[in-house]
Amino acid sequence: MPDGETTGQGRTLRSARALREAGLLRPDAEAAVAAVEGRYAVSVTAHVAGLIDAADPADPVGLQYIPDGSELVTAPGESDDPTADGPFTPVVGVVHRYPDRALLKPLLACPVYCRFCFRREAVGPDGGVLSEAELDAAIDWFARTPAVREAILTGGDPFMLSARRLGGILARLGALEHIETLRVHTRVPVAAPDRVDAGLVRALREAGKPVVVAVHANHAREFSGEAVAALARLADAGVGLLGQSVLLRGVNDSVGALEGLFRAMLRARVKPYYLHALDAAPGTARFAVPDAEGVGLVKALRGRVPGWAIPTFVRESPGGGGKKLVEG
Ligand SMILES: *Cc1c(COP(=O)(O)O)cnc(C)c1O
Ligand code: SF4
């Protein structure tokens, strides 16, 4: 894997060395981060690098993406598959936990790799693209499962597919009579907004069923001018926009940071949908916020922001029981 590659937006940083050369990693931290890079994927797009204040080691955007040596330490209770997708996988690439909706993971690559990712043992630039045969089998599973009324593309990040391939998958799912809505979970609009181009927008518009895009963002600063413009292209095309965030120590664990985040979403026509409690994936303990503290933060928003700015605070049940309200 090269240290960096040139895209329309400039060089994507994919190693400790590239991060250090870009001024985003102190030289004395490079060796520890190089060890992490051998185990977990690293990627910071030029767009995201431009949002990080390199002089601030506590920068709320940088903390999400700059690796830390502590990631190689697995704390008690952390698990390789914290959401227990494994037992709910009827065919490769599908996760079916609720009767009426199921996930399709067409690939496991992302534009950026979040240090707190719950699928960190699975995601990465090299793996997880479904073969044609696997994709056919997965779509056939949806065709044979009429109780499923929503197909949810996730991964990895489905917006990393070419517009043609994404459009093909959405159109095949959208053509199934029992599929009523299509959803795509993505970080691309805030991490690599130039990818939200005319071809991608057309793929969503031609899906044949209503499409909702759930955007993952954790701090107001991720809503740059380019990101807001990318979201506007989606909204203008009739795509519904939801916001998904993770409550993260140091990133958004204050009433002010959460208010800023959710207000930034409203300005970008994004309805805050879920605030997730951190899933206990290996090496993520530095981001943990106790449930009681999280509940207090969400309560403090009530009355302070419009009601529709407040997401539901949920946690994935370990063992695969699905999302549950966090209630202190
Ligand atoms: C989160 C999740 C969904 C979607 O749940 P919603 O509450 O509808 O957002 C669907 N399937 C699986 C397996 C999930 O983990
Ligand atoms: S974008 Fe999502 S799947 Fe990809 S690394 Fe971040 S949290 Fe994980």
* pLDDT value of position 293: 98
The CA distance from 216 to 223, in Å, is 11
Going from the C-alpha of 197 to that of each of 12, 14, 165, 187, the distances in angstroms are 19, 24, 14, 15
Q: How far apart are the first and last CA of the chain?
A: 44
8 CA → ligand 1 middle, Å: 33
pTM: 0.95
Q: Which protein residue has the closest C-alpha to ligand 1 atom 8? A: 101
Q: Which ligand is nearest to the CA of 112?
A: 2
Structure tokens at 325: 């309200």
Q: Whose CA is nearest to atom 15 of ligand 1?
A: 322
Distance 208 CA to ligand 2 centre (A): 27
Protein residue closest via CA to atom 8 of ligand 2: 117
- H/E stretch holding 232 reads helix 225-236
Ligand approaching nearest to the C-alpha of 314: 1
**Is the bond preceding residue 328 a cis peptide, omega within 30 degrees?**
no
CA-nearest residue for atom 6, ligand 2, is 114
Alpha-carbon distance of 72 to 75, in angstroms, equals 10
The residues spanned by each domain of the chain are 4-72, 86-325
pLDDT confidence of residue 259? 98
Q: Which CATH superfamily is domain 86-325 in?
A: Aldolase class I (3.20.20.70)
**301 C-alpha to center of ligand 1: Å?**
25
Q: What is the pLDDT of residue 9?
A: 57
H/E element, 163: helix 163-174
Pocket of ligand 2 from Cβ distances under 6 Å: 110, 113-114, 117, 119, 123, 156-157, 187, 216
Specify whether the CB–CB gap between 217 and 187 falls below 8 A.
Answer: yes
Q: What pLDDT tens digit does each residue of the chain (328 aa) get?
A: 344 454 455 899 999 999 999 999 999 999 999 999 999 999 999 999 999 999 999 999 999 999 999 999 998 888 887 777 888 999 999 999 999 999 999 999 999 999 999 999 999 998 789 999 999 999 999 999 999 999 999 989 999 999 999 999 999 999 999 999 999 999 999 999 999 999 999 999 999 999 999 999 999 999 999 999 999 999 999 999 999 999 999 999 999 999 999 999 999 999 999 999 999 899 999 999 999 999 999 999 999 999 999 999 999 987 778 999 999 6
